[in-house]
Structures are given as C-alpha cells and as structure tokens.
Amino acid sequence: MQFSYALGLARQLVLAVTAVSIIEIPVAHLLLSRWSTAVALVVTVLSVAFIGYVLVDWAAAVRRPITLEGGTLTLRRGLRRPVEVPAARIVAVRSAPSNDGLPKEALRTVYAGEANVLVELEDGSAHAVSLDDPAAFVRALEAVIGPARKGLESPS
C-alpha cells in the first residue's frame, strides 16, 4: 500500500517559494552587484541551487510515497534517507490533531505542515508523520498490527 504525503500544503508551499524566488533572485542579484560582483554571484548561485533543491525534493516526495509492504512500514520524506519500521514493532497508531499533542521524543517524518498521525513503537519511540489521507493510513496500519497484538495478548 502507498500513502501520499506531498500533495496538499507542500505543493502550495513549493510553488509559492518558487514564484517569489523568480522575482527576488534577479532583484537581489542586481542590488548586490552594485556593492560587490563576487558576493552577488555567490548569493545568486546559492539561491538558485536552493530553489533547485526544493523543487527536486518536492518531486521526490511526490514520487516516493510512504509504503506498507511485506510487513515493513517505510517512512519517506523527499530526498532524505527512508526509515524502515517492521510492522511487528508497531504497538499503536493514532491520529494527531497537530504537533502540539506529540511527545517531545517523537521523530518527525513530516514533509511540510503539521503531523497528523503518530506511530508508536514497542521501544517507546514514536514517528510523527503528515499524510494526505491520514484516516486511510491509520486503518491500513491497524489492520496489519491488529492481528499481531491479538497474538501477543492471547494466553499461552
């Protein structure tokens, strides 16, 4: 199963930053070049590289969804290294209305905006994620971890 995390706020944010940068970078270059050509060139190159990274990172987020396959939950966030969590280690999954109610130690696997799901692991750690359809993610993960929990709870 695949779950998208980059269609809502992230798209709007990337497009807004890119649109502002198309205007801001040349103006900043012209203003800085009156003071120092070298500084203007360095700032312009770094600004263009940053916008390029933002666009490539967003494209990666769109093409690299969070997946739940073969008993492994793979949490992705754009170009960053994915985090693989065996479903057997997950003890709970719940909706989180915002970042405010999350434990401080929760690892944020959030591309942009607020976390809307918290995945709790057996070692006490947790992953906060932001998904486009959090309800579907919670249902899918509960379906996978539900049978495993029942097996743990049954008397031997």
Query: What tens digit of pLDDT does each residue of 37-54 get?
Result: 999 999 999 999 999 998
* Residue 18, burial from CB neighbour count under 10 angstroms (0-12, 13-18, 19+): middle
pLDDT in tens, 63-95: 888 899 988 999 888 888 898 999 889 998 888
| Statement: the pTM of the whole predicted model exceeds 0.85 | no
Starting at the edge strand found earlier in the chain, the sheet holding 66-69 runs 2-3, 66-69, 72-75, 83-86
Give the DSSP H/E element, type plus range, for residue 123: none
| Cα Rg of the chain (Å, integer) | 20
